[in-house]
Amino acid sequence: MKLKADTLAQAMLKNLKSLPAGQVALRLLVVMGLFSLTRLLFYWLNADSFQATTFKQLVVIFLGGLRFDLTAVLYANSLYYLLMLLPVNGKNNPWFSNILNAIFYLTNGMALALNCIDMAYYEFTSERTTIAVFDEFAHEVNYGQLAYHFIIDYFYIFLIWLGLMALLVWAVRLLKATYNRVNSWQTFALQLLSMLVFIGLAIIGIRSGLPPKQDFPLVASDAGQYVENPGDIVLVQNTAFTMMMSLDKPVYQKQHYYDSTRLAQIYNVNHPADTATFKPLNVVVLIIESLGREPIGVFNRTLEQGKYKGYTPFLDSLAQHALIFPNAYANSRISIEGSPAVLAGIPSMQESFTVSNYSGNTINSIPKLLGEQGYYTAFFHGAPNGSLGLNAFAVQAGIQHYYGFNEYGNPDDYDGVWGIWDHLFLPYAIQTMDSFPKPFMSAVFSVSSHHPHKIPDFLKDKIPEGKVKMHKSIGYADYALKQLFATAKTKDWFNNTLFIITGDHTCTSYYPQFKTPVGAFTVPIILFQPGANLVGVDSTVVQQIDIMPTVLHYLHYPKPYLAFGQDMLHPPKEKFVFNYYGNAFQLIQGHWVIQHNTQKTIGLYNLKEDPLMRNNLVGKAPTIQAKMEPLIKAVIQQHNNRMVDDRLVAKTP
């Protein structure tokens, strides 16, 4: 009896394979299976970053992921199945079969490669990659070196992809069949009908339903319905899907939660003119590549039962003479978003500001506003000119002079990957500033503390290894900062200068508290003015976009301006931080975190009792939720509406 059943199943499979529509369906099922396998590997390689803790939660996530996989697979294979389903003869011809197979392997190989790359890249961004990654690296000149180092450091990702492609080729060969010829009008009509039905079903699958369903068409945020914790949303998605959906870049939706009077009462972004006498100090902002909070010893006194030393001895020593903020956060997760946040107070929420539809908006910035007060302004970045589009942003931010690889003038000091070695370029920046008229405002963006984490040969044995490769790389950045300040101390303008140190975004982390939706944004913020009474520890929450209003208030800037951040030294109300994580706006106030998707609150966490954010308290802490919801909604409304309406500067009389 079993033998007959097996024979029947084999016969049905043979007949199904010989039908064009059956062949397409079987191949797409194989690709769907491989997509699920990449999701499993993605989870396994990044398990510490996700909050799903039970088998039931994971089952729901993986079942929900099938919906996103179906959309991506149908999109990616549309050319293949359109050609395959044409009711014509010739499908048994070797050249036609080879063309179809080439299309099938190419499109699905690219889709699987995207999913594989994010198995490693996710640790840097905490989100699925979108088309914006090409804008981020559009001006790089070292693609070969970057690709080489990625393959060397993450060789296992390449091997995983090769394994997936081997499975795909094996399955296609297993499904190989001889197709029935179109030798009558009945056969033609049947194949035409099957093509039309399949295309109709494919459209429904791509759109994930028919109108007027609320979730038609499928969008990235729909993944939220399959998770209990917003940080797990990326597990439901796949990178091929987020890439395709971001081809048409998202547009901020204007919100109307409150009228203008109530909105300003909850969250006012207009800052009045300072009435005190303007103080024309020099300002130097140091944005250190990938400088997260984790590697800095003085910012982590409780780690390892108080025995943690970190990897930044110079910053630890400088902190004794500075004002530090151990609960500071970035407003972004990638490099091109760091400079707008730090220098112009502009957070990147759903997309990177500098490559968004709103990148042409008129903006304020520290250099622009101080330039209007007679400051000489400059930007230093040791990468090849144009890297990360920073020279273009410098123009938009009103910076008068840009100093990059070309201006440095000595290609022998190139690190071979990103730019001039930091320990050489940072002192060069100080030497160049020495020639500036006073007062001046300069921003310096380092480059070397970045994957592949190269260290100059003479320092390889002097900088200790860390728990992850990034720790040693940050140790080198700390050494470069030491060289910068050693040079700066020799200048007569040193004591008349306010230094601000922060990271563009956080780094690859080892400890689990730095991998949560909140921990993924932890950076240091340090204010240092030699000889000034600017010393101590402020443990309240602050963020990158607070730097602009803090600097302007510290100098007693004499004009009104608009800024999303607050003065860290004299906040008008209780401090708060906001950023964007897992398709949701996120706001931190005190030890509470709320997450909102513009429609409803989807996350609420008590960091004091639940530092790893395992317990979602939505609906379980009504007093806290009622307090924080108006603020996060006001933040969303101010941000989105001002971006859409190009209202990012204060109105002039």
The mean per-residue pLDDT over the stretch 439-464 comes to 91
The mean per-residue pLDDT over the stretch 628-636 comes to 97
pLDDT in tens, 13-45: 555 666 777 888 899 999 999 999 999 999 998
Strand, coil or helix: 433: helix
More reliable by pLDDT, 470 or 490:
490
Q: pTM score, two decimals?
A: 0.81
**Cβ 236 vs Cβ 36: under 8 Å:** no
DSSP designation for 634: H
Structure tokens at 610: 């639940």
More reliable by pLDDT, 207 or 210:
207
| Nearest C-alpha neighbor of 553 from the set 253, 165, 281, 285 | 281
**Residue 445 backbone phi and psi in degrees, to 5:** -115, 115
DSSP designation for 237: S
Q: How far apart are CA 343 and CA 398, in angstroms?
A: 11
Burial 224-238 (b: 16+ CB within 10 A, else e): bebbbbbbbbbbbbb
**Cβ 343 vs Cβ 545: under 8 Å:** no
The full length of the chain comes to: 653
pLDDT in tens, 387-436: 777 887 888 899 999 999 999 999 999 988 889 999 999 999 999 999 99
Q: Look at residue 57 in the predicted model and tell me its pLDDT.
A: 86
Amino acid at 448: S
Strand, coil or helix: 282: strand
Q: Look at residue 90 in the predicted model and tell me its pLDDT.
A: 66
Q: How far apart are CA 124 and CA 105, in angstroms?
A: 29
Q: How far apart are CA 300 and CA 175, in angstroms?
A: 57
Strand, coil or helix: 399: coil
pLDDT in tens, 211-230: 544 445 677 767 777 887 77
pLDDT in tens, 513-541: 998 999 999 999 999 999 899 999 999 99
Token pair 């997760």 is found at 333
CA-to-CA separations, 609 to 152, 294, 606, in angstroms, rounded: 41, 20, 6
Q: How far apart are CA 536 and CA 322, in angstroms?
A: 6
Superfamily of structural domain 260-645: Alkaline Phosphatase, subunit A (3.40.720.10)
Per DSSP bridges, beta strands 440-445 and 376-381 are parallel
Please classify residue 570 by burial: count the beta carbons closer than 10 Å to its beta carbon, then call 0-12 exposed, 13-18 middle and 19+ buried.
exposed
CB atoms within 10 A of CB 475: 23
Rg of the chain (C-alpha set): 28
Beta bridge partners of 440: 376
Please classify residue 601 by burial: count the beta carbons closer than 10 Å to its beta carbon, then call 0-12 exposed, 13-18 middle and 19+ buried.
middle
| Nearest C-alpha neighbor of 284 from the set 360, 378, 192 | 378
Domain with CATH 3.40.720.10 in the chain: 260-645
CA-to-CA separations, 4 to 1, 14, 211, in angstroms, rounded: 5, 15, 45
Q: Look at residue 121 in the predicted model and tell me its pLDDT.
A: 82
